[in-house]
Structure 1
Amino acid sequence: MKKHGLTIGDISARTGLAPSAIRHYESESLVFPDRNEGGQRRYQRADVRRLSFVMIAQQLGFTLAEIRTELSTLPLDRAPTKADWTRISRRFGQVLDARIDRMTALRERLASCIGCGCLSLQSCQLYNPEDRAARAGAGPRYLMGDRPLDE
C-alpha cells in the first residue's frame, strides 16, 4: 500500500479537493503521504476520511490548528477505527454545544443592553446604569459572559 497508494489525483477525485488544497493540508501536517521511487505522493485510503473531516470541521468553524490537534490523536500506522472517530466527535461535540449556548445567549440578549457602555438605548439605564459593565473591562461584557453586577 505504501508504494502503491492513492495518487493525489485519486484523492482529489474522491474528496472534491483541488490538488493544491491537498498539498496545503499536507504542509499543515493534516495528512502524511508516502513517496514512491519517483517522489510522487501516495496516500492511504484513510486519508480520504481525514481530508473529509478537515473540510467538515472547517465548515463548523474549527481552525486548522484545532483540527490538527484532534487528528494528531489518530494512528498513522493503521486506518482509524469507529472508536477513534467517536472520540474526536465527542470532543468536537462539546465545543459545538458551548458555541451553540453562546449563540443562543447572544440571540436572546441582542435586543437589550449588551454591556458595551454605549448608553444609546433607553433600556441601558436599566441594565447598565452608570456604565457599570465597563468596570469588568472593554467590549460587550455581558455578551462575553460577564453577569451584570447587581445579579
Structure 2
Amino acid sequence: MMASSGLSIGSLADRTGLAVSAIRYYETQGLIEPWRNSGGQRRFHRADIRRLSFIMIAQKFGFSLPEIGGLLKALPGGRTPTPQDWARISEGFRAHLDQRIETLQQLRNNLDGCIGCGCLSLPNCALYNPQDQAATKGKGPRFLMGDHSETENRS
C-alpha cells in the first residue's frame, strides 16, 4: 500500500491490536481523524498507529478519554509526533502518575486502619474521626484523598 493512500481500518487494527469497533469509537470521540478515499473508505495516517498506542497507554495510566483528547490536541495531526512532542506530554503524565502513586501508597499504608471515609463503622473511627469530622472536609474517603484527621494534627 502506498503511503499517500493511507492505512485501511483493518490494517490499523492489525498494527495496533485494537478491534475495528474500538478504532471507530475513538473516531467518534474525535481522538483520530481519518479521511475518505474516492471509494468512500476510511483511510488513516501512519501517525495514527502511535496515536492509538498513546490512547491505550494513557488509559492504562488512568486518564479518561476526554483527558486523552485534550492531550492529543497538542499533537500534530497527520504526522508522527516528535520526541519533543512526547517529552511535553510526558511531563503531565509524570505529575498524574506521581499523584496516583502517592494515593496508592496511602491506601497500602492504611489498609489495616481507618481509610477516612467518615462511616464510623470501625472501632478506630472514634479515634481517627470523632463525631465524623472527616465529613466536614467534603465527600469521599477524605484521609485517603490527603486530608488529615484532627487527632493526627495534634500529635
- Same-fold call, TM > 0.5? yes
Number of equivalent positions:
151
Q: Which moved more, 1:34-43 or 1:135-144?
A: 135-144
1:129 counterpart residue number = 130
- Please report the RMSD computed on the Cα atoms of aligned residues, expressed in angstroms: 1.9
Runs of 4+ residues over 6 Å off in structure 1 = none
Displacement after TM superposition at 1:117 (Å): 3.4
The whole-number CA distance in structure 2 between the counterparts of 1:116 and 1:43 is 47
The whole-number CA distance in structure 1 between the counterparts of 2:24 and 2:121 is 50
Query: Gaps spanning 5+ residues in structure 1: where?
Result: none
2:93 counterpart residue number = 92
Percent identity (aligned): 57
Aligned counterparts, 1:1-151, within 5 A: 4-150=5-151, 151=153
Q: Which moved more, 1:134-143 or 1:6-15?
A: 134-143
Is the alpha carbon distance of 1:139 and 1:50 closer, same or farther for their aligned partners in structure 2, counting shifts above 3 Å?
A: closer
Displacement after TM superposition at 1:3 (Å): 5.2
The whole-number CA distance in structure 2 between the counterparts of 1:70 and 1:138 is 29
The whole-number CA distance in structure 1 between the counterparts of 2:119 and 2:28 is 45
Matched-pair contact (CA < 8 Å) for 2:47–2:78: no
Is the alpha carbon distance of 1:131 and 1:81 closer, same or farther for their aligned partners in structure 2, counting shifts above 3 Å?
A: same
The 3-state SS of whatever aligns with 1:6 is: coil
Q: Deviations over 1:111-130 (max 9, x none)?
A: 21223334343333322233
Displacement after TM superposition at 1:137 (Å): 3.8
Query: Gaps spanning 5+ residues in structure 2: where?
Result: none
**1:41 aligned partner, one-letter code:** R
